[in-house]
Structure 1
Amino acid sequence: MAYTGTPSPAGPIGSQYCVCKVELSVCGQNLLDRDVTSKSDPFCVLFMEVNGKWVELDRTETAVNNLNPAFSKKFVVDYHFEEVQKLKFALFDQDKSSMQLYEHDFLGEFSCTLGTIVSSKKITRTLLLGNGKPAGKGMITIAAQELSDNRVITLSMAGRKLDKKDLFGKSDPFLEFYKPGDDGKWMLVHRTEVIKYTLDPVWKPFTVPLVSLCDGDVEKLIKVMCYDYDSDGGHDFIGEFQTSVARMCEAQDDFPVSAITFYGQNKAATITRDFSFLDYILGGCQLMFTVGIDFTASNGNPRDPSSLHYINPMGTNEYLSAIWAVGQIIQDYDSDKMFPALGFGAQLPPDWKVTRNSNPRV
């Protein structure tokens, strides 16, 4: 069986690109000293806003006698691009062994969205009091890193001199790849296409996530089985072998399968990264938000509640709601926070002529 490294084919491997886990690292600088005979013993508490209320997610360890702590405990949160995920980082000086936060001295807090941290990769901000005023001293630094194994492996497979299994023809070979399951049984990972009427098949290159093929462990055994396809499902067994991703990546030698030799040539496999949506954001990619609004009469009288341009006494209409819903998400990924707004069809003073377009910045 020949393995040759090939570039990854275009297109995503899965659909889980906007949902992943993010690791948040927290450091404090020049914190308030609340202790009389020593320095503060700070720890950090992470909260997330859920239905308008702050819910505690996790806490770091306590850094004893330290006004510039670098906490080893990391916060791991699920990142959803399409949601506004509000976080609050609150620092306390531990005075007792109690889990009740009111029994510890408050050092300051900082609130932002997870999108703000992710788009910046690392932010440093002044700690504030609960009323939004500066705490007097203290800064907090938060860094984000994606937690995912987004490596993929690309394999190009070819067989040579396979067994002839068909009475009046050759063979119709295909391959199946297996990894050990938690129950000790082999679990099917991938099946190639069938190549008709040949003893020297060359299968199309295919790419699978490394975590799917071997749980991300390149030393883990995988099993490759070769069959001759039969339309009634009674496929004839040709041969098999066991190997690992590490061995395939280094292999130059042949793989014997039963009495058949599967010849190896070049490198066995190519491992690359299948970049996720978050990889692009952490790499500096920004998103732009442009609004286009139709001010023509086709949307109805603005005094009519059914109109998209309804001048609502409450201050909102359908257009504003849509702009707010999208802009609230996108704003975290645009550094200048300036969003072009294009409009057409409005009658603007002083001449009250119908405009073709306008381009204010909001």
Structure 2
Amino acid sequence: MAGVGCDGRIQHDPRWEDGWGTVESVVFGGDKIMNGAFWGRGVEIRKEIEVTYLEVVFSFSNRQVSALKSYMAYTLTPDPAALVGSAQCCVCKVELSVSGQNLLDRDVTSKSDPFCVVFMDINGKWSEIGRTETAMNNLNPVFAKKFVVDYHFEEVQKLKFALFDQDKSSKQLYEHDFLGEFSCTLGVIVSSKKITRPLVLTNGKPAGKGTILISAQEISDNRVITLSMAGRKLDKKDLFGKSDPYLEFYKQEEDGKWMLVHRTEVIKNTLDPVWKPFSMPLVSLCNGDVEKTIKILCYDYDNDGGHDFIGESQTTVSKMSEASNSMEVEFECINSKKQKKKKNYKNSGIIIVKSCKVTRDYSFLDYILGGCQLMFTVGIDFTASNGSPRDASSLHYINSMESNEYLAAIWAVGQIIQDYDSDKMFPALGFGAQLPPDWKVSHEFAINFNPTNPFCTGVEGIVQAYTACLPHIRFYGPTNFSPIINHVARFASQAIPQKVAAQYFILLIITDGVISDMDETRHAIVQAAKLPMSIIIVGVGNADFTAMEFLDGDSRVLRSYTGEEATRDIVQFVPFREFRNAPKETLAKSVLAELPQQVVQYFKQRNLPPVNSDPA
């Protein structure tokens, strides 16, 4: 049975031609198939299908749709290589380019000075993900700034592109004149590769004749190029001064047109500029082809937007890569009009590549695929405020019909993280309880009562140890976090001498109340931020969790009692009550939302490559 025709380009897999349909189109009753990877009765697909374009949907009979829905697995098969394609990881990175046409003119004596701000809908709120440079005195801007976003096949990712006329240097958007906006999903842009849409005002009316053009390119090449550029003896263009030079870099598209990919800053009043080093994805500069010709144009900046052309050079990344700290690469800057008019014309100056380095910008998937192990530890709150586990109102109460919030949190987080640890042996610790036989309070005890081997086999082992220990301990207090944080930090510190990204430690703390040792906990977190370690805190029950939100450094930098600042944000706090009536996948997704970024940030700060990585 063939699929519905479509002009979208989809990578096709012949294994699907078994009577279930051919992948060609986007029609499946609005239901999305996660990353095109699924398996069930009658469908023998045991490996992730790489979808290079668009949202994949299928055309089936009603019977087949029913069967597929019934048996579709929303996690991939136990193939370790396939696991990284599941819902919690992005399918790929997409680079978005933005330009505008016929924008509203908000300036009286000149044209608008537009810039574009891109927002993403995150949990129902528009969050800014970046903004372009300002195009001075220009109603048809082509912005050099690109936006790289993670494309998740299994999610509806809403984007909003808003254009403003810059009036002040303020970063507050209400200080600038609004020129119009356009909203759509990332899937719409990816499916079309390039779209042109009218801009609208906040009241929904057209923003004049203004339109926005957005193009998308998948970034599958993780190489990054870093360039240091300079110029020498450039042409003098200003009447009462020298020149204010800047560079523009262009790559050639498939249709032969040249596309702006980067613009340097302006260096004022000089013929021998030295621009700041800059980095960009190699695929942005040359589509990953180091032999592909690129153009470098040099201009003299004018405040009125009428920038004077100085000259251009053509080269390749391969040629520029010959530059190093000890040897520079030079190109003549040629103005073809001057060259035709003047017989003795030599050049309009020299463009210099002071250094050119190509490195790899590793992603979370690169580290995981490269062999990084996520070392998972769970810490459970056994303080008296939870209530006796024999009481039905206790947060630790378990009956044959349902579990409790502690178990739900362990399952939600552990089931995902365990897929990234080869031996699946996890330490499970408790705090705030009195232990037999002397009934002393402990804040870092093994819940299997084996201090020399606190490891549990998989999430099931953690659950078994947890339920088994409940009758044998006395809930007490206080609620101290620092001992268990320092416990995991000691192991994480042993990974520091490693020269590759081999291990990253994750501590899940499940608690019901207010922290008693806040100063010590803050200090422990600040020290742990220097280590390959993240902390996830799930608050159960209905207590006031204001202090927990303080530890989550999303809105401010966390400081220890000594005043030392955390080098990075490693804490993610989530109150369980917000997810009581939501699918269990929602809790896991929220809890683990920041983890990939934290892993990448740590290894990048220390220039640690994956265990198994290819040279750039």
| Cα contact 2:225–2:281 (8 A) shared by 1 | yes
Q: CA deviation at 1:238?
A: 1.8
Q: What secondary structure sits across from 1:155 in the alignment?
A: strand
- Which blocks of at least 5 consecutive residues in structure 1 are unaligned? 1-46, 60-73, 88-110, 119-146
Q: 1:158 aligned to 230, 237, 247, which one?
A: 230
Q: 2:293 aligned to 189, 197, 221, which one?
A: 221
The aligned counterpart of 1:261 is 349
Does 2:59 align with 1:86?
no
The aligned counterpart of 1:39 is none
Q: 1:280 aligned to 362, 367, 381, which one?
A: 367
The aligned counterpart of 2:252 is 180
Q: CA deviation at 1:257?
A: 2.5
Q: CA deviation at 1:213?
A: 0.8
| Cα contact 1:160–1:201 (8 A) shared by 2 | yes
Q: Which string of whole-angstrom CA distances, capped at 9 and with x for unpartnered residues, describes residues 42-88 of structure 1?
A: xxxxx9546xx4584869xxxxxxxxxxxxxx964379xxx97422x
With normalisation by structure 2, the TM-score equals: 0.36
Change (3 A) 1:265 1:352: closer
Partner Cα distance (2:41, 2:281) in 1: 37
Partner Cα distance (2:243, 2:41) in 1: 64
Q: CA deviation at 1:205?
A: 1.1
Percent identity over the alignment is: 66
The aligned counterpart of 1:32 is none
The aligned counterpart of 2:50 is 77
Does 2:407 align with 1:320?
yes
Q: CA deviation at 1:300?
A: 4.8
Q: CA deviation at 1:349?
A: 3.9
Partner Cα distance (2:384, 2:302) in 1: 66
| Cα contact 1:218–1:244 (8 A) shared by 2 | yes
| Cα contact 1:84–1:113 (8 A) shared by 2 | no
| Cα contact 1:171–1:197 (8 A) shared by 2 | yes
Does 2:320 align with 1:210?
no
Q: Which string of whole-angstrom CA distances, capped at 9 and with x for unpartnered residues, describes residues 328-358 of structure 1?
A: 1221222322111121112444454443320
The aligned counterpart of 2:528 is none
Change (3 A) 1:298 1:226: farther
Change (3 A) 1:312 1:196: farther
Q: What secondary structure sits across from 1:171 in the alignment?
A: coil
Partner Cα distance (1:117, 1:171) in 2: 52
Q: 1:335 aligned to 415, 422, 435, which one?
A: 422
Partner Cα distance (2:331, 2:257) in 1: 26
| Cα contact 2:248–2:263 (8 A) shared by 1 | yes
Number of aligned residue pairs: 244
| 207-216 or 253-262, which deviates more | 253-262
Q: 1:169 aligned to 241, 247, 251, which one?
A: 241
| Cα contact 2:84–2:365 (8 A) shared by 1 | no
| Cα contact 2:237–2:300 (8 A) shared by 1 | yes
Does 2:268 align with 1:196?
yes
| Cα contact 2:373–2:420 (8 A) shared by 1 | yes
Change (3 A) 1:116 1:76: closer
Q: CA deviation at 1:172?
A: 2.1
Q: CA deviation at 1:148?
A: 3.6
RMSD value, Cα = 3.4
Matches within 5 A, 1:237-316: 237-250=309-322, 252-258=329-335, 259-264=347-352, 269-300=356-387, 302=389, 303-304=391-392, 308-316=395-403
Partner Cα distance (1:115, 1:345) in 2: 40
More strand per residue: 1
RCO comparison, higher one (Cα < 8 Å, 6+)? 1
Q: What secondary structure sits across from 2:221 in the alignment?
A: coil
The aligned counterpart of 2:210 is none
- Look at both structures and tell me which one has the larger radius of gyration over its CA atoms: 1
Partner AA of 2:332 in structure 1:
F
Partner AA of 1:171 in structure 2:
S
| Cα contact 1:286–1:335 (8 A) shared by 2 | yes
Q: CA deviation at 1:155?
A: 1.0
Change (3 A) 1:182 1:173: same
Partner Cα distance (1:207, 1:57) in 2: 44
Change (3 A) 1:235 1:253: closer
| Cα contact 2:76–2:83 (8 A) shared by 1 | no
| Cα contact 1:86–1:113 (8 A) shared by 2 | no
Change (3 A) 1:299 1:183: farther
| Cα contact 1:48–1:54 (8 A) shared by 2 | no
Q: Which string of whole-angstrom CA distances, capped at 9 and with x for unpartnered residues, describes residues 191-211 of structure 1?
A: 112222222111111111111
With normalisation by structure 1, the TM-score equals: 0.58
- Which blocks of at least 5 consecutive residues in structure 2 are unaligned? 1-35, 53-72, 86-218, 324-328, 336-346, 448-453, 457-616
Q: Which string of whole-angstrom CA distances, capped at 9 and with x for unpartnered residues, describes residues 161-218 of structure 1?
A: 2222233332222211111223332111111122222221111111111111111112
